[in-house]
Structure 1
Amino acid sequence: MEFIKTILKNRSIIWKLGKSDFKNRFASTSLGSIWGFLQPFIFQMMYVFVFQYVFKSPGEAGAPYVVWFLPGMAIWQCLNDSIMSASNSIRSYSYLVKKVIFPVDAIPIISLIGSSFVSIFLFIIATAVCIAFKFVPNVWIVLYIIFATYAFIIAFTRLTSAITTLVPDFSNLLGILMQLFFWATPVVWSLTRLADHPTMLNIMQYMPFSYLVTGFRQAFMGGDIITANHGIYTIVFWVITILMFVWGNHVFNKNKKDFADVL
């Protein structure tokens, strides 16, 4: 596939620009890149304090709320930050489109790499906390969910990065949609709350965001998102991801010749 060939051919410069992307986000601050790790960590701890100690939210499978919460939140922050930054990437790197001979297909990957440093940090924090409470993750499921997460992000932003470039207002709409998805996805609340509403529960379990958050969480809680009764959700997830990439790839390739003029 042409997209994959482009990424592999330019992997060295993409990696260098990805590292610079992360550093440049906080270049004007005294603490620099430290803020990139500090802000999401404090954000997570605020949620833990509010839901575990104020609202007394229970965990699951004998785990305290913090163990149940952190893996799901880590995946969500990875999804949210990566989707938003990659969707706006072509406008952020407009000089690469207008004045430099550079494959525009690779630009969203640059922003995705820039966001990944914080995501890896949050994955490590979640893993360390869970292990401290004697909840050891299934390494294979963890690696699978991380792979699935980035596959979905690439597919999703293949479409949204093209739309945002052509219609700048879409970025604001996407931000609102991601906030709605946050509360609609079982990040801070459990799917068990929908036990009395089987239709709604079924719909939620087929949602890609829900699949990824629940899957990463189950890797630490002893569940299995790939086999047994969850196999159908895995099939649906990959069908949605592949179809979204095909659609996004069509929209992106059809319009990328106009990006320079629009910018």
Structure 2
Amino acid sequence: MNNKEKTTLGQRRLPGIGKLPKWAGITIFLACAVALALIIVLHYNPGADQETERLKKICACTLIALSCAVFSVYYDRVMVVPLELWNNRQLIWQMSVNDFKKRYAGSYLGAVWAFTQPVVTVLMYWFVFEKIFGMKTEIAGRGLDVPYVVFLMAGLVPWFYFTEGLSNGTTSLLEYTYLVKKVVFKISILPLIKIIAATFTHLFFCLLLVGAGWIAGFTPSLYTLQIFYYMFCEFMLMLAISFATSAIQVFFRDLMQIINICLQIGQWATPILWNLDSVVPDWRMQWIIKLNPMTYIVNGYRSCIYEERWFFEHFYSSTYFWIVVVGIFCIGSLVFKRSKIHFADVL
């Protein structure tokens, strides 16, 4: 094996991927942005208020233009993290599997504990809201009665995933301090490793959710496959936030306590335990709640199980969600890149 064939931990590369010319990267991004803007402008919804639709189009195009400007100016900084993640994808997968295994290595039941607490939480909420408060059914988008336990699970399953992924991603640098201090290790992969490890548990609960819906009479169909799309949406949202929070956590150790409080508030501010349409009839208040990206995710999981609606039917919600994720990802990447040179000194 010659020197060119040798690789060090966290430095695996694919030919050409890490050497994408700046002009090519910017051109690809601008082309995608222009295509998205054209789709938004040409999209026509005859059943909606046209003044509102025009306002949405103006806002969306403005955000796209700002994203293009930021991406073009800060291209070198923004693209560092995505390229590092791609070049180290094999290492990321191996470390994610090991992280999931070692989490419960010292217990008798092992990985069973990863599923016990979420199951107990679902049963507790189901007993309180259905058996005590009498919330028997919810009305689905196509006018069907949905058992409350299915409605509840479709909201809690993605929320559990978000809570675990964001919490573990935020503390990833502190947990892997010995790797952060290694000069040759790409520390940008650490938040991703923790989120992938949380995905293993989430996949089990997705199967459980589909099974519960099937028992309730909602047979799996092509619409159910959209759950992978919404899972990817949530994955990218957690990763985008974790890049910023994991970097800040190194310097401000109280951040995790603040995040835990925000997650508690967020669970009730997101339509998980309650139906948005029935509890909040005012469209202005609904609009405010829909600004929460997790509202899009929770509603998406429910549409996969029993509403039988495609994700592109929520056109503006999908556009807004991805604009928010891309914006957070760019900010998180910049924060992480500017902070990482100080990590070893602080830790």
TM-score normalised by structure 2 residue count = 0.72
Q: What is the Cα deviation at residue 132 of structure 1? A: 1.4
Aligned residue runs from structure 1 range 93-242, under 5 A: 93-99=176-182, 101-137=184-220, 138-224=223-309, 226-228=311-313, 230-242=314-326
SS at match of 1:224: coil
Q: What is the Cα deviation at residue 100 of structure 1? A: 6.2
C-alpha distance in 2 between matches for 1:21 and 1:47:
30
C-alpha distance in 1 between matches for 2:310 and 2:169:
27
49-58 or 191-200, larger mean C-alpha shift:
191-200
Tell whether the 8 Å contact from 1:194 to 1:201 is kept in structure 2 after alignment: no
* Residue 339 (structure 2) aligned to one of 246, 255, 258: 255
Give the aligned length: 262
2:149 counterpart residue number: 66
Tell whether the 8 Å contact from 1:155 to 1:241 is kept in structure 2 after alignment: yes
SS at match of 1:31: coil
Tell whether the 8 Å contact from 2:92 to 2:192 is kept in structure 1 after alignment: yes
**Percent identity of the aligned residues?**
31
Q: What is the Cα deviation at residue 136 of structure 1? A: 3.1
SS at match of 1:30: coil
Q: What is the Cα deviation at residue 5 of structure 1? A: 2.4
SS at match of 1:59: strand
Tell whether the 8 Å contact from 1:225 to 1:234 is kept in structure 2 after alignment: no
Q: What is the Cα deviation at residue 44 of structure 1? A: 1.5
Q: Deviation per CA, 1:185-218: give whole Å up to 9, x if none.
A: 0111110234432211111123101111111111
SS at match of 1:148: helix
C-alpha distance in 2 between matches for 1:50 and 1:225:
32
- Alpha carbons of structure 1 residues 195 and 169: separation in structure 2 relative to 1, 3 Å: closer
C-alpha distance in 2 between matches for 1:12 and 1:179:
35
Q: Deviation per CA, 1:203-237: give whole Å up to 9, x if none.
A: 11231011111111111122536334x31111111
C-alpha distance in 1 between matches for 2:268 and 2:292:
13
Tell whether the 8 Å contact from 2:247 to 2:336 is kept in structure 1 after alignment: yes
State the superposition RMSD in angstroms.
1.6
1:91 aligned to 2:91? no
Q: Deviation per CA, 1:78-127: give whole Å up to 9, x if none.
A: 11110000011000111101146310100001111221111111111101
Q: Deviation per CA, 1:122-165: give whole Å up to 9, x if none.
A: 11110111011121351342121111111111111111111112
State the one-letter code of the partner of 1:127: V
- Alpha carbons of structure 1 residues 223 and 200: separation in structure 2 relative to 1, 3 Å: farther
C-alpha distance in 2 between matches for 1:69 and 1:225:
21
Tell whether the 8 Å contact from 2:213 to 2:306 is kept in structure 1 after alignment: no
* Residue 134 (structure 2) aligned to one of 56, 68, 79: 56
Tell whether the 8 Å contact from 2:191 to 2:246 is kept in structure 1 after alignment: yes
147-156 or 133-142, larger mean C-alpha shift:
133-142
C-alpha distance in 2 between matches for 1:54 and 1:225:
35
State the one-letter code of the partner of 1:111: K
C-alpha distance in 1 between matches for 2:182 and 2:320:
41
Flag the structure with larger Rg.
2
State the one-letter code of the partner of 1:241: V
Tell whether the 8 Å contact from 1:59 to 1:67 is kept in structure 2 after alignment: no
Q: Which runs of 5+ in 1 are unaligned?
A: none
C-alpha distance in 1 between matches for 2:208 and 2:256:
30
Q: Which runs of 5+ in 2 are unaligned?
A: 1-78
